[in-house]
A and B are shown apart, each in its own frame.
Chain A
Amino acid sequence: MTEELHEIRLRVNGIVHTVSVPARRLLSDCLRHDLGLTGTHVGCEHGVCGACTVLVDGRPMRSCLMFAVSAAQHEDITTVEGLAGPGGEPHPVQRAFAECHALQCGFCTPGFLTLIAGYLEDNPDPSEEEAREAVSGNLCRCTGYQNIVSAVQRAAELRTAEVVGGPARAAEEAPAPQPHSEGGHQ
């Protein structure tokens, strides 16, 4: 039996793609295999690990728990490849992850980045406890969560500075806590 194909239009990171997929194609597989956007990772395929998280109309969702044919009903999908600004400058969450050492192997990272980018749109200034709760649905097996939680709060500062400018700018210019920074002891 040859499987029926559905021609769908998916708007991903601002670009409209037309692809033919069987109904059972998961959005995660469609992004990776049909569109070549391999930044979206796949871990468990049952909603538990969060590696496959993407933004659907701005809200973080599991791309392994959505069929591409259903996702086509939505306006807009953002994957980790779409987080950077128009000139390629990293998103505040990406800068915060680098600054706070919030990744090691990077397998879980795309899921965290999209999750946090979406979260900060609704919660621009989370407390530490809120930041911890926000990332509690995503698993990281090597970095540990302390730095990831710090990165959520640092990303919030960077984002506020970017969006609002003005006084919060200072946060960006202040030197970030770094173990080996500016001279001192070598």
Chain B
Amino acid sequence: MKPSAFTYHAPTSLDDAVRVLAEAGPDGKVLAGGQSLIPMMNMRLAAPAVLVDINRLPGLDTVRVDTGGVRVGALVRHTDLEDDAQAARTVPLLRQGLRLVAHPVIRNRGTTVGSIVHADPSAEMPAVLALLGGSMEVRGPSGTRSVGAADFFTGPLETGMAEGEIAVSAYFPRPAPGSGTAFVEIARRSGDYAMCGVAAVVTLDADLRITAARCCYISVAPVPLVVDMAEAVVGAVPASADLSAAADLAADRIEPEDDIHASADYRAHLARVLTERALAEAAEAALRETAGPGPHTTGIGAMR
């Protein structure tokens, strides 16, 4: 189908964009990569009267990496972030998540910030932001503010952004030293939204014991759901950690629903299985991280 008519603006400064969006009020929408908004407009699930195309705004297409983390501008396409080697070294979970977002052709146009603002509970990058405790920088008529991930995701396709605000960037902090991460999911077809997905971060101390572990769940809750796994696994070495206790913690918190893609029971089953896989993979990565660069083999035996 075809989208309904709208008034189109393509401002060339952020101030103009904020002003035009404010004037449009509730009828206005930002157009970034359009990979979620245009399908919805084509199907007439969305019919904004005014579109503010931000693709001409200068300075928003940069990835900035420092020792603390990675800041991603609003016009950075998924593909460009995925290809950024420095970003991948600093926050490996970025690339681990991006590889699971749709297909490469969609990633060539869609933006990572747009996907976070869209706040689909099945999307990967909101989960990456939530798991790492990142934040969004948003700009509105009354200035710029930063919103932490925990306050940002308020419901399915709902965020803590106010009407008239534009997201300028997303900040992904680097996990603590000794940490490893993983993102695993199961989808019906390659590139589809997952029926369930789990991102995990595991942190080890110098004795290779787990000091912290968290998972974040997609497609089984109204928002990307972060579950602290400390209770189940802290103090253990990865090889003897009780992953099934961690799966129990997840099972208590998720709220899976039936839909045409999968039953709630099946999603709950996937959440258990994927919790164990994600934690095991993240622990592996943490062991490699702790071993540091240079020739080495992984596994606890090799560390002694």
Contact B2 A137 (CB under 8 A): no
Contact B55 A70 (CB under 8 A): yes
Whether A73 contacts B55 in the complex (CB less than 8 A), given A3-B5, A4-B7, A136-B103, comes out as yes
**8 Å CB interface, A51-94 against B:** 53, 56, 59-62, 64-67, 69-70, 73
Residue of B nearest to A6 (CB): B8
- Closest beta carbon of chain A to B43's beta carbon, Å: 6
Looking at chain B's contact residues, the main secondary structure is: loop
- Closest beta carbon of chain B to A144's beta carbon, Å: 15
Query: Chain A 1-17, CB within 8 Å of chain B: the 1/0 string?
Result: 10110100000000000
Chain A residue contacts of B5, Cβ below 8 A = 1, 3, 22-24
Contact A62 B109 (CB under 8 A): yes
Q: B34 touches which one: A1, A66, A137 (CB < 8 A)?
A: A66
Q: B39 touches which one: A24, A65, A115, A138 (CB < 8 A)?
A: A65
Chain A residue contacts of B42, Cβ below 8 A = 26, 45-46, 64
Contact A70 B1 (CB under 8 A): no
Looking at chain A's contact residues, the main secondary structure is: mixed
Chain B residue contacts of A126, Cβ below 8 A = none
Contact A73 B39 (CB under 8 A): no
Chain A residue contacts of B106, Cβ below 8 A = 47, 62, 65, 137
Chain B interfacial residues counted at CB < 8 A? 31
Chain A residue contacts of B41, Cβ below 8 A = 24
Q: Does A50 contact B (CB under 8 A)?
A: yes
A23-B51, A59-B79 given; 4 more Cβ-contact pairs under 8 Å: A62-B105, A69-B10, A136-B103, A137-B105
Chain A residue contacts of B102, Cβ below 8 A = 137
Chain B residue contacts of A1, Cβ below 8 A = 5
Whether A46 contacts B8 in the complex (CB less than 8 A), given A61-B108, A70-B53, A136-B103, comes out as no
Chain A residue contacts of B108, Cβ below 8 A = 56, 59-61
- Closest beta carbon of chain B to A121's beta carbon, Å: 12
Best-buried of A1, A4, A47, A50 by chain B (most CB within 10 Å): A47
